[in-house]
Amino acid sequence: MRILLLGASGQLGSDIARLWHGKPGLELQLATRAHADVTDLAAVRSLVQSARPGIVINTTAFHDLPRCEADPRTAMTVNVVGGWNVAAAAREAGAAVVQFSTDYVFDGEKRTPYFEDDARRALNVYGAAKIAAEDAVRIANPDHLIVRVSGLYGLAGSAGKGGNFVETMLRLAREGQPIRVVADQVTAPTNTAEIAEALLPILRDGLRGTIHLAAAGETSWYTFARTIFDLRRLTPDCTPTTTAEFGGPVRRPLYSVLGSARVPRLRHWRDGLERYLREKHGALS
């Protein structure tokens, strides 16, 4: 199985590259923006045709939420046009495409886990862009797998966000700053390593359509932060707040937990967090 991975230096892409390296029967080719900008169809087409993959995985995205609100044109161009270009180039080369999407395609009104066929309704520019990207990919390449994920954090961190939530919490705790975290936004934060390991057998099985790959369980961002501190035996001044009190330019769903009717959910979010902390910071106390 020959796979071309776009966004190989990103948070999710780097874990796919790291954990799939040397797997039997797998030829993994890595590409970053230096190889091709996904908004440039000619460059993407040339890259895919030269790689001759059976599957193209697109982990690229413009996902800094405040920047998406301030610059919707770029958010739409990178996410939607980029998704279309990758899917179309893959189709032209006779390859399937894997496109990553987000829990933010949902509005959070349901209050129970969202499944693959639940109605989508975004509350912000990023979510709207990902809805459009999903539809663009479906149209551009019928041989597709759309993978919705939630609350990602990984060893490489997110370049667009300056790290990840776990590292931000640890940094604030080390600096001794008072920390306020929203307690009314509920999701299932997911270690990108867990996604990478679950995705490969799904691709080997040839599954197509739309799936959700997210950690089991659910938690507020405040409880997630408290768990981070507890596992690292830190006692910062951390207090809960509400989304309304916290403010900010971006509307976010208050409930965005992903369930799945098609694939097993990943391990519990706490298991994924413990793994991350061990791999990034050493043994837990």
Catalytic residues: 126
Distance CA 180, CA 132 (A): 33
Phi-psi region of 53 (alpha: psi -120 to 50; beta: other; left: phi over 0): beta
Do residues 188 and 113 make contact, with C-beta atoms less than 8 angstroms apart? no
Strand positions, DSSP E, 42-95? 55-58
* 20-23 contacts, C-beta under 8 A, 24 or more apart: 20/196, 20/200, 23/200
Where do we find the tokens 């019928």?
A: 142
From 170, 207, 167, 210, select the one nearest 191 (Cα to Cα). 167
Distance CA 253, CA 244 (A): 12
